[in-house]
Amino acid sequence: MESYLLDWANLLLRWVHVITAIAWVGSSFYFVFLDSSLTPPVDEALKRQGVSGELWAVHGGGFYHPVKFAGAPPQLPSHLHWFYWESYSTWLSGFALFSLSYLWSAQTYLIDPSVMRWEPSAAVGAALGFLVVFWLAYDGICRTFGQRAHGDTIVGALVAVLVCVAAWLACHWFAGRAAFLLVGAMLATSMSANVFFWIIPGQKAVVAEIKAGRPVDPIHGKRGKQRSVHNTYFVLPVLFAMLSGHYSFTYSHPQNWLVLLGMMGAGASIRQFFVLRHGYKLGRNPHPWPYALAGVLAIAVLVVWLRPSAGNALNAINLVAASAHPAGANGTFGYKDVAPVLAQRCTGCHGAQVQMKGVRLDAPDAVQRHAQAIYQQAVVTKTMPLNNATGMTEAERAVIKAWFEGGATVP
């Protein structure tokens, strides 16, 4: 019953997290587009009001005319919409999901003994430390160098180094799948912290100064804009980290930290292409195609690097399987061949005593019912056994493959 309720909690939290993340990323992307697409106002009345840019757009059967004021508007409206609960809800639901999925079962999901042997409490403390220490280091870099000459370049370079160090540590301390997710959570935490500690307080300070009739200090806008720009470049790397858990060939690679950094770098470069493309359409900068090309090339290099070994590796595995588990008289693998593999490698979590995800693999009818999932998890993605905790061999995976492709027959 506990496992069943945890599955429901995981599903609902994941659902909420995706919904709120879409809302946050969507509004963030829109405002980056808006800032990059504004043109000087044509109407003299808008100029007299202090409007610095405007945009005409059509969507959903109507026309929209957003404008941006260079400083304070002539008068604050009675209703001012704030964009912050999208960020807070995304982080709160994400942290709850991370706690439920990884911290609650650290021994299973966070720790890989072949990478680092430590107590669950220590692993949980280190994982939480990643979120806090990265934010403090990143924020310190922004505070120290953000307002200097060439500050954006310096901050960008130092943050890139910081991310590289964090990715290397995570992949050498935690299970690969958890390491990728943790680095993504680390960046996402800093994104939400930017909103909570800098962007919203700065905007509230501006509103307070306007209401008090005092001149608006432009530093609030500059700081908020800087952190907002950082957030937009973090988005695609974070999304890759969150999705990577479904593709074990990325996080299970011996140099998985380089895979993670390569994909994150590609995401940031591709995001730069889209950010600059808005300005290019208005003639403000050259075509940003080199950034898109750099991102695509980085992905192409990873595709080639991570490809399966040459020499028809699957046939070689099948030969090993055949010697370890001889096929039946007709040359096929049956339930009698796959049952010992499942009993040794799988039923500890999917047997009579424990049924993770409501799945049992200790009876022929149950095995046949879950044959597709067994094949997908153990052969195609190789995500199971989790972190390969039970030591399933390539030969045993090949037995499952041959059994499934032969019709997944049971007595």
Number of domains forming the structure of the chain? 2
Task: Report pLDDT for 316.
Answer: 45
Q: Which amino acid is at 39?
A: T
Neighbours of 148 (CB within 10 A): 11
Q: Which amino acid is at 402?
A: A
Q: Give the residue ranges of the chain where pLDDT is below 70.
A: 1-3, 309-332
Q: Do 296 and 322 belong together in one domain?
A: no
Task: Report pLDDT for 329.
Answer: 45
| Last residue in a domain, options 275, 305, 335 | 305
| Last residue in a domain, options 245, 275, 305 | 305
Task: Report pLDDT for 394.
Answer: 87
Q: Which amino acid is at 267?
A: G
Per-residue pLDDT of 348-384, as tens digits, reads: 888 877 777 778 888 888 888 888 888 888 888 788 8
What is the three-class DSSP state of 67?
A: strand
Confirm whether 66 is domain-assigned: no
- Which residue segment(s) compose the domain that 7 sits in? 2-37+82-305
Confirm whether 75 is domain-assigned: no
Tokens at residue 284, please?
Answer: 């403000």
CB neighbour list of residue 358: distance below 8 Å, 6 or more residues apart: 3, 4, 7
Q: Do 143 and 287 belong together in one domain?
A: yes
Tokens at residue 279, please?
Answer: 């300005």
Q: Do 249 and 297 belong together in one domain?
A: yes
Q: What are phi and psi of 34, to 5 degrees?
A: -60, -50
What's the CA gap between 229 and 233, in Å, rounded? 7
**Is the separation of the CB atoms in 157 and 137 below 8 Å?**
no
Q: Do 233 and 376 belong together in one domain?
A: no
* Helices 85-98, 176-194: crossing angle, 10 deg rounding: 160
Task: Report pLDDT for 213.
Answer: 87
Tokens at residue 406, please?
Answer: 């032969």
Q: Do 195 and 317 belong together in one domain?
A: no
Task: Report pLDDT for 159.
Answer: 97
Predicted TM-score (pTM) of the model is 0.82
**Is the separation of the CB atoms in 346 and 361 below 8 Å?**
yes
Q: Helix count (H) and strand count (E) of the chain?
A: 16, 4
Confirm whether 278 is domain-assigned: yes
Rounded (5°) CA angle 257-258-262: 120
Task: Report pLDDT for 158.
Answer: 97
Task: Report pLDDT for 312.
Answer: 44
**Is the separation of the CB atoms in 70 and 50 below 8 Å?**
yes
Q: Which amino acid is at 298?
A: A
What's the CA gap between 108 and 387, in Å, rounded? 8
Task: Report pLDDT for 143.
Answer: 94
What's the CA gap between 197 and 231, in Å, rounded? 13
| Last residue in a domain, options 247, 273, 305 | 305
Confirm whether 147 is domain-assigned: yes
Confirm whether 74 is domain-assigned: no
CB neighbour list of residue 113: distance below 8 Å, 6 or more residues apart: none
Q: Do 283 and 385 belong together in one domain?
A: no
Confirm whether 56 is domain-assigned: no
Q: Do 391 and 299 belong together in one domain?
A: no
Q: Do 300 and 369 belong together in one domain?
A: no
Task: Report pLDDT for 237.
Answer: 96
What's the CA gap between 325 and 395, in Å, rounded? 8
CB neighbour list of residue 82: distance below 8 Å, 6 or more residues apart: 200, 203
